[in-house]
Structure 1
Amino acid sequence: MASLSLRRRAFWGDIRFLIGILLVALSITGVWLIVSASDDATPVLQANRTIMQGEALRSSDFQVVEIGLGALTDQYLAPQDLRAGQVASRTVREGEIVPTSVATDADDSRSTTIVVESTTGIPQEVAAGTVVEVWHAPPLDDGRARDTPRILVADVIVRSVLEPEGMLADAGTQVELVVDRADVADVLAAITGGSSLSVVPVAAGS
């Protein structure tokens, strides 16, 4: 009986020894995986403020962060990818990791900015980044009345409000808008033709 008891203790001792070796191996593997993931981190650009569509991209608008992107590395803008003369092809929100598709040459950009005067004033919530519609009411031939208001351009982005905002800003508030180049002629024609323009925010979810 004593011999059988010694053999059993020796067997369980061997099992505990093997389990200990396995735990050590797992711990080393875990540390190696963490270090490897850290080594694979790629420096990319993160926007430190909201950048409007059509706005020039400057190094001061970004901070460099290191993220493990794996096979997606080439899809995001690295510090060395930023060049003079690039503009944003769409609005980039503060804190966003910047895709390479956002950076486009200014000469290739399909948008530009135009300042319009909203004769009806603008609501307080209209600010940089707000999506708005521009309505216009052209003057009638008699010059004493205006035609029925209708949409001039839809879904354009406010780049800046050029006068202080209020609950309802005074009539004549100027707004800088990011407009598709294809719509520039229509907007300028409305301005020079004496249309009454109104900037109206697009309701969320509409």
Structure 2
Amino acid sequence: MWPASGTAGAGPTQDSADAGFARDMAIHHQQAVELSFIVRDHTSSEDVRRLAYDVINTQANQRGMLLGWLDAWNLPKSSQEPSMSWMHHDMGGMHGMESMEGMDYKPHDGSLMPGMATNTQMDQLRKAGSKQEDILYLRLLTAHHKGGVAMSQAAAEMAKTEQVRRLAQGMVDSQEAEMKLMADMLNLRAA
């Protein structure tokens, strides 16, 4: 699996979709892990705790893989380019991205990319009571996953590296399944 490159000996470049996705999704995943730790440690709901635990483990592992690829490619883990700028490189070949909300997203209140919670929302989650915390977490994580799915779909189509395309498609599939689960969980809570 190492190095994750499209051709023998050559890895993705600094401004490639592969590197941009790895950097941006590592940041995106870090916040999902943080949201999930907040709830895992406070919820009285076993199904919410189980979801939070799964998100923590899955997304922390994927984040490590993304950062490891950047190391293997000898690329920096951060960039001066705005988040998601890699998505604008080849918009013509992308399917379904025409309707993606936030393509010209401007970071605000700590929310660096579409779907990411703001600092205010993170504070609300930390201060919420148990039932309200569960509902807020499920709503924030659903929005978070929607943003992540849009990025992952773009990477699955644009990345030159097979491993990146496979991981991105796996993220789409698993996060769409989790969004369905969270919709059911919200319905059970009459939210």
The TM-score, its normalising length taken from structure 1, stands at 0.25
Bigger helix fraction: 2
Higher strand share: 1
Greater RCO structure (CA 8 Å; 6+ sep): 2
- Could you state the TM-score of these two structures normalised by the residue count of structure 2? 0.26
The structure having more radius of gyration, on CA atoms, is: 1
